[in-house]
Amino acid sequence: MEVCCQLPVLPLDRPVPQHVLSRRGAISFSSSSALFGCPNPRQLSQRRGAISYDSSDQTALYIRMLANSEIEVSVSARNVRRLLSFQRYLRSSRFFRGITVPNSSNILDDDYNGQAKCMLEKVGNWNFDIFLFDRLTNGNSLVSLTFHLFNLHGLIEHFQLDTMKLRRFLVMVQEDYHSQNPYHNAVHAADVTQAMHCYLKEPKLSESLTPWDVLLSLIAAATHDLDHPGVNQPFLIKTNHYLATLYKNTSVLENHHWRSAVGLLRESGLFAHMSLENRQLMESQIGDLILATDISQQNEYLSMFRSHLDRGDLCLEDANHRHFILQMALKCADICNPCRTWELSKQWSEKVTEEFFHQGDIEKKYHLGVSPLCDRQTETIANIQIGFMTYLVEPLFAEWARFSNTRLSQTMLGHLGLNKASWKGVQREQSGGGEDADPAFEEMDSDILPQEPRLS
Ligand SMILES: [Zn+2]
C-alpha cells in the first residue's frame, strides 16, 4: 500500500482496478458479483487509498447500470451473498495468511509434496500436465509454478526481489481469478504461463531476451485473464456492465485484466525498490502484452507477423521487435490448448464449452439473445473446436512455426492436426457425417466470438 503513495495518480482514462478499491475499502466485490447484483455505490464511495479516484463519476456509472440492467434487478440477493462468501473464503486460505519464504534457494516449502516437486523439474516439457500439478499443489498451481519460474529464470536474484512480497503478489493474483469459472480460472493462467515458459526457451528467443523481457512475459502470462467474470465482452455490453462502460466497449476484459494486474503490482510493493520510471514502463509494457490477447485484434497481429516473416526483417536485437514477438508468443500461449496432447486438450475443450453454455443459459433465462456458440441445444464441443482450430489456431501457429521452426513447433502442429482429426471423428459420429467447421468463427468479429474463442 505504501508503494501506491509513491506513484502518481492514474490518468483519468485509466480506471482504477477493482482490487485497489476492494482491498482498501469497506466492500469486497468482483466483476461477477456486479453481474448478479450491483456493488453498493455508497459503500464504494467509502473506499480510501492513495490512488486518486473520482468517486462521483463512478457512482454515476453504477447507478446507470442499476437503472438499465435487466439482470441486476432480476437476480436474488442470495447470489450476491454466495459470491461475497466465496471471496471471503479465498481470503482466509492459508496462502493468503502468508507463508514466508526465507530465500530463493529454498522455495520448495511444505506446500509441495514430492510429486509436485518432481513435476517442476520438467516444467519446460510441452506435455506438462497442469491439471495434475494443480491437484498436487492443492489448487495452488499458479503460485507454485510462477514462483518456480521466477527462480528458474534467475529473476529473483537479478531484480533483487523480496521472495515474501513475490509470494504474496502471486497469491493475490491467483485469488483474483474466479475458481468457479469452468475455464477462465487460475489453472488456465498457470497453463498459459507454462506455455510461455516453453516459448521463452526456444532458441531464437532465449538467445536474445533480456531478464526484463522474461520478467514482463511471465507476469503478463500469469495475469492476462485476471478477475475474468466468465462471460464475454458482448455479454458485458448488452447487460450494461460497468466494465463495458468504463472501457468504452473496447477490449473491455483485456483492459480490466491489465488494470487489475497493475493494482496488484502496486499493492504488493514487489517492485517498490525500482525507479518510478521503470515501474511505469513495466506497467505499460505488461498492458501491451495483455491487450494483444484480445482475439478481435487477431487479424491485425497476424498480418503484421506475416509481413515481418515475408520480409525477413525481424531483428531481435531491437527491443520493439522482441516486444512484438513476445506479444505473439503470449497470443500463442493463450490459445495453445488444441496444440497439447489429446488428453489435455480434450479437458480444456470441455471446460471452455461449459463456460460458453453457462453464458448461453443465462442469456436464455433473461431473454438476452443467445450468443453464437453458446447454445447447448444447437452446438457441440466438436463443432466449436473444429471452427476454433480452423479459423484461429491453425493460422496463428503456422506463422509461429515459420518464425521458430523447431521441434516444439512441429510437435504443436502435430497435436493440432491429430486433435482436429479426433474432433472430426466425434463430429461424424454425432451428425452422421458431413458437418464443417462452425461458421461463427469465419466472421472473425469480436462481437460474435464467444468467450474469446481464444478460449481465454
Ligand atoms: Zn486466457
pLDDT at 40 over 70: no
13 annotated binding-site participant: no
pLDDT at 193 over 60: yes
For the question of whether the overall pTM of this predicted structure is more than 0.85, the answer is no
**Spacing, Cα 354 to ligand 1 middle (Å):** 15
pLDDT value of residue 113: 74
Question: Comparing 73-77, 147-151, 336-340, which segment has the lowest mean pLDDT?
Answer: 73-77
228 annotated binding-site participant: no
**Spacing, Cα 201 to ligand 1 middle (Å):** 20
Confidence of residue 43 (pLDDT cuts 50, 70, 90): very low
184 annotated binding-site participant: yes
224 annotated binding-site participant: yes
pLDDT value of residue 442: 58
pLDDT at 252 over 80: yes
Averaged pLDDT for residues 349-374: 96
pLDDT value of residue 436: 60
**Spacing, Cα 437 to ligand 1 middle (Å):** 22
Please give the class, per CATH, of domain 101-330.
Answer: mainly alpha
Residue 449 class from Cβ within 10 Å (0-12 exposed, 13-18 middle, 19+ buried)?
buried
**Spacing, Cα 223 to ligand 1 middle (Å):** 9
* Residue range 428-444, pLDDT digits in tens: 998 876 556 666 665 54
pLDDT value of residue 443: 53
Q: Where are the domains of the chain?
A: 2-77, 101-330, 342-443
Averaged pLDDT for residues 361-368: 96
pLDDT value of residue 128: 98
Averaged pLDDT for residues 286-292: 98
Chain mean pLDDT for the chain? 80
pLDDT at 321 over 60: yes
| All residues with CB under 5 Å from ion ligand 1 | 225, 334, 456
Residue in 19, 184, 241, 415 annotated catalytic: 184
pLDDT value of residue 114: 87
Question: Comparing 43-52, 105-114, 395-404, which segment has the lowest mean pLDDT?
Answer: 43-52
pLDDT at 29 over 50: no
Question: Comparing 19-23, 119-123, 211-215, which segment has the lowest mean pLDDT?
Answer: 19-23
* Residue range 80-99, pLDDT digits in tens: 333 333 333 444 444 444 44
- Told to judge if 321 belongs to the known catalytic residues of this protein, a careful annotator would answer no
**Spacing, Cα 290 to ligand 1 middle (Å):** 9
187 annotated binding-site participant: yes
Averaged pLDDT for residues 293-306: 97
Question: Comparing 91-100, 144-153, 285-294, 313-322, which segment has the lowest mean pLDDT?
Answer: 91-100
**Spacing, Cα 171 to ligand 1 middle (Å):** 18
186 annotated binding-site participant: yes
**Spacing, Cα 189 to ligand 1 middle (Å):** 7
185 annotated binding-site participant: yes
Confidence of residue 102 (pLDDT cuts 50, 70, 90): very low
pLDDT value of residue 446: 42
Percent of the chain whose pLDDT exceeds 90: 69
Question: Comparing 330-339, 395-404, 420-429, 444-453, which segment has the lowest mean pLDDT?
Answer: 444-453
pLDDT at 22 over 50: no
**Spacing, Cα 15 to ligand 1 middle (Å):** 21
pLDDT value of residue 437: 61
pLDDT at 383 over 70: yes
pLDDT at 243 over 60: yes
334 annotated binding-site participant: yes
Averaged pLDDT for residues 252-266: 97
Averaged pLDDT for residues 13-26: 38
